[in-house]
A and B are shown apart, each in its own frame.
Chain A
Amino acid sequence: MIRLEALTKRFADAAAPAVDALSLDIGEGEICVLIGPSGCGKTTTMRMINRLIEPDAGRILIGGRDVTGEDPVTLRRSVGYVIQQVGLFPHMTIAENVATVPRLLGWDAARIARRVDELLERVHMDPARYRDRYPRALSGGQKQRVGVARALAADPPVMLMDEPFGALDPLTRTALQDEFLRILRELKKTIVFVTHDMDEALKMGTRIALLRAGRLVQYARPEAMLARPADDFVREFVGADRALKRLALLRTGDHATPGAPSGPLPRVRSDASLREALAALLDADADTATVIDTHGAAVATITLAAIRGVAGAANDPA
């Protein structure tokens, strides 16, 4: 869906390029997380996709179309854009903010009004209550809900999100991550998501692109990046607890042995993560736990040894 070919950007006052011949293929419906230490070029890469920064060399293709030569203003209307500080227009109502791109595209008033209400409902902001309010009256989390609604307004196939939850408190951040993950999956958007937080990357990403000094170090699915870090830099970046992080990504049901055991054992839902299963086993000081399905019926067994086996695989330098 999005294809970057040898994308390069060197800023006038810098010795080294900010982005150095970066190539990346992002499939339709993927959430591609760009991550890396500050100055690695992740934000520059994202801002080149909607040409807020003009690349010095290389090509950007969206849906097979080379957009490097397109009018940037037209291009941006078909690419959703969400930033950390939200950037709502303080002099416009919530409805007017959400209506920005439809207005630019010349939709009629009735269609815009319908779309605004539909989007506000989708991000759980009661339209009747919030439509005519101004951004000043909203909390940080509510502002970003409106920010995402505004980016979704004209139903763009591609969305760019630059640390959208970075300025929120941890509780609000987790709630919004869960909610938007659900919304974005429903809408099947292709997303480029910039963050510096590995936990957020593992949670939100279907693929993670780890950048360093403007170059791609590793591009892999979250689980694969934890299991097989490409080099010491990746290993260090994902953290010493990557075995635990990996367990958090795996479903207990996928690693359990069919057949219900007998006796009083701790119970773990099959859709719980292996990390939760491990916690239950440690809590109960047990070697074996009963895996139950969503109806509460015992269907399988998970053992400490099985979990250790999965976790150990992550620690083998591949």
Chain B
Amino acid sequence: MLADAWNYVLAHPAQFATAFYVHVALSGAALALAAALAIPAGIAAARTPRVALAAVGAANIGRTLPSLAVLALVMPLLGTGFAPSLFALTLLGLPPILLNTIAGLQGVDPDVVDAARGMGMAPRTVLTRVELPLAMPVMFAGLRTAAVQVISGAVLAAFIGGGGLGDFITAGIAMMAWPQILVGAIPVTLLALGTDFAFGRVQRRLTPAGLRAP
């Protein structure tokens, strides 16, 4: 069956390459958008405990919504294609990044922040020189979770004409053609695992030396 899947790829190289490219572009763009929205929102929310609590609540509700339900809700509003898929996947990526940004900032030792303020750091300096570097490992872990979710969630974009590797899976299911399902499923799995591994390495590198295990 694996050989059949491989032969399928060899028989349709352009189609596979396009699907792979669309999948990566869709996931990458969604992750970047989600981070661009959720990180500043998380920083703003973490300043006020009450706002942070509300944001965490909202993010947790967002996280429990099935991805398919998000797509089903998006389709009647935005139609089909790349843009609605991007919108849905961005929504999918927001909660883990938002939650971990808030958790990371709230996890910074208040005595350290008090010392920073007491020595005359302006609020922005406290954020950039003390809070963000110390919250970075937790924040990046959120980005890593979001990346894996968005890459695997992007399979569902095929349902609303967003393209990507999900196309092979949905077509394969429709025709009960196992090799074709694998043509979609195996690269998505490898992509998700590879991203998780690569982000893990970056996360370790971004962890300040003073915080790393000796």
Contact = CB atoms under 8 A, between A and B. Distances in A.
Interface string A10-39: 000000000000000000000000000000
Contact of B118 (A76, A92, A93, A137): A76
Interface string A91-127: 1110000001100100000000000000000000000
A76 B120 contact: yes
B39 interface: no
A86 B115 contact: yes
Indicate the member of B114, B116, B210 with the most A CB atoms within 10 Å.
Answer: B210
A50 interface: yes
A77 B119 contact: yes
B120 A134 contact: no
B118 A50 contact: yes
Given A81-B118, A101-B119, A89 B209 contact: no
Interface in B190-214: 208-211, 214
Contacts of A6: none
A116 to B, nearest CB: 15
B112 A88 contact: yes
B121 A73 contact: yes
B205 to A, nearest CB: 14
B118 A89 contact: no
B62 interface: no
Contacts of B116: 87, 89, 100
Contacts of A76: 117-120
A91 B115 contact: no
Nearest to A94: B210
The range of chain A's interface size is 20 to 34
A139 to B, nearest CB: 15
A55 interface: no
A136 B109 CA distance: 14
B41 to A, nearest CB: 24
Contact of B210 (A77, A87, A93): A93
Interface string A137-164: 1000000000100110000000010000
B15 interface: no
B7 interface: no
Interface of A: 50, 52, 73-78, 81, 83, 85-93, 100-101, 104, 134-137, 147, 150-151, 160
Nearest to A77: B120
Nearest 9 CB-CB pairings of A with B: A87-B115, A91-B208, A134-B210, A77-B120, A76-B120, A81-B118, A85-B111, A87-B111, A91-B210
Given A86-B111, A104-B125, A91 B119 contact: no
A87 B118 CA distance: 10
B114 to A, nearest CB: 6
B210 A83 contact: no
Nearest to A96: B210
Nearest to B123: A73
A83 B119 contact: no
A164 to B, nearest CB: 12
A88 B119 contact: no
23 contacts: A52-B117, A73-B121, A76-B117, A76-B119, A78-B120, A83-B118, A86-B111, A87-B112, A87-B114, A87-B115, A89-B112, A89-B115, A90-B112, A90-B210, A100-B116, A100-B119, A100-B121, A104-B120, A104-B125, A136-B210, A136-B211, A137-B214, A147-B115
B129 to A, nearest CB: 8
Nearest to B115: A87
B139 to A, nearest CB: 14
B11 interface: no
B120 to A, nearest CB: 4
A137 B119 CA distance: 23
Interface string B118-148: 1111100100001001100000000000000
Contacts of A83: 111, 114-115, 118
A137 B213 CA distance: 11
Nearest to B207: A91
B196 to A, nearest CB: 25
